[in-house]
Amino acid sequence: MFYRILVLSCLLSTFVFAEVIQTFYGPVEVKEPILLELIHSPAFKRLKHVHQYGVAYYTTHREEYNRYDHSLGVFAILRKNKASLEEQISGILHDVSHTVFSHVGDWVFGKEYQEEDYQNMIFKMYISHSGIEDILMKYGYTINQVQPKGKQFTMLEQPLPNLCADRIDYNLQGAYYQKFLTKKEVLELYEDLKFVDGKWVGMRVDLLKKLARFPLFMTRDCWGAAANYALSRWLADAIVRGLANGSLSWKEVHCGHDSDVWKKLNASKDAFIQQRMHMIANYNDYFSWVDPKDAEVLVKFRCRGIDPWVLHGEKVVRLSVIDPDLASEIETLKKKAAEGWPIKLLNPATKGYFEP
């Protein structure tokens, strides 16, 4: 009897429990305990309540797309392409340190247009205080080994106009929600894109042409739009005031949910916060787009156009080589980004909020 129990114990100790994780691209079987613990950690699950487009969810772009779905999408892309375990961990964690309302945190903490986003600046601190470092240490990893901006993680991060796992996912999911691509086309691109010799390369030129137009649209309509610029700054103002008067805590901003903080700000009795929330709700009353000659301010922004690598014949070339119109569209938007959106102010409360 003792022998049977011993054998059974040994068999159980070597059995690997797998779990199927649902992602935007379909189910992914995960056996590695560290990945499962990270995915089920409270800090990672919080991302279900942080919208991908920040304040735009409440104003201009109400897609049900959050940092949790995005991070699992990045993980799925990395896993399908056989990224190292360290890079898969990094993909899961790369957005975990976002504050509520995503990049609004950049404005709240005074970073504005510096090169490094706020969530990257606090990544190590956040990991060490969120319980995630304990999970990493349990399996023999350090924070430095899985730092998302680590130069070794070239599948995960690449400079524009290249694709990378992060950029592939937020463009694929975003293009689906904005009806640039069908779900079938998204899945075809998910299968098509491969990481070869340090580059993400695709063969479906027809679908990549569609995909490449999406970030140009989003740069104009959301990410780089004058409205998003103003709304993010006004919401940041309200949050800063809440932190100053004690109605909001550091923990709520860094570890809370968008909806909870949004409700709290809207219910605030503070006159300044009330004013900023009113401005957000009625932003069209505060400025308008005009002819450049009539502009009071020019709102500059960053162009996020992509120019993917594609297999063309026997050569790997930029998509713009095959589609010269794409190169022209990217350059046109870059020029506009440098010039800025021409804005006329309609309300004195808006003054001082559009200077880059």
Q: What is the pLDDT of residue 90?
A: 98
CA 129 to chain centre: 22
Q: How far apart are CA 4 and CA 16, in angstroms?
A: 20
> In 3D, which of 63, 93, 98 has the Cα closest to residue 78?
93
Those residues whose C-beta lies under 8 Å from the C-beta of residue 31, and which sit 6 or more positions away, are: 16, 17, 18, 19
**Tokens 């899961």 belong to which residue?**
92
CB 156 within 8 A of CB 198: no
Q: What is the mean pLDDT of each run of 10 residues along the chain (356 residues)?
A: 46 65 98 98 98 96 95 98 98 98 93 69 96 98 92 94 98 97 98 97 98 98 94 95 97 98 98 96 90 89 96 96 97 96 83 58
> In 3D, which of 337, 262, 348, 287 has the Cα closest to residue 56?
262
Count of CB atoms within 10 A of residue 42's CB? 10
Which tokens hold the place of 43? Answer: 């800090």
Q: SS3 sequence, the chain?
A: CHHHHHHHHHHHHHCCCCEEEEECCEEEEECCHHHHHHHCCHHHHHHHHCECCHHHHHCCCCCCCEHHHHHHHHHHHHHHCCCCHHHHHHHHHCCCCCCCCCCHHHHHCCCCCCCCCHHHHCHHHHHHHCCHHHHHHHCCCCCHHHCCCCCCCCCCCCCCCCCCHHHHHHHHHHHHHCCCCCHHHHHHHHHHCEEECCEEEECCHHHHHHHHHHHHHHHHHHHCCHHHHHHHHHHHHHHHHHHHHCCCCHHHHHHCCHHHHHHHHHCCCCHHHHHHHHHHHCHHHCEEECCHHHCCEEECCCCCCCCCEEEECCEEEEHHHHCHHHHHHHHHHHHHHHHCEEEEECCHHHCCCCCC
**Tokens 């103003």 belong to which residue?**
230
CA 30 to chain centre: 23
Which tokens hold the place of 86? Answer: 């360290």
CB 63 within 8 A of CB 177: yes
CB 57 within 8 A of CB 51: yes
Which tokens hold the place of 264? Answer: 């709290």
Q: What is the pLDDT of residue 297?
A: 86
Q: How far apart are CA 146 and CA 142, in angstroms?
A: 7
CA distances from 201 to 24, 78, 160, 188 (A): 21, 14, 14, 14
The phi, psi pair for 144, rounded to 5°, reads -60, -30
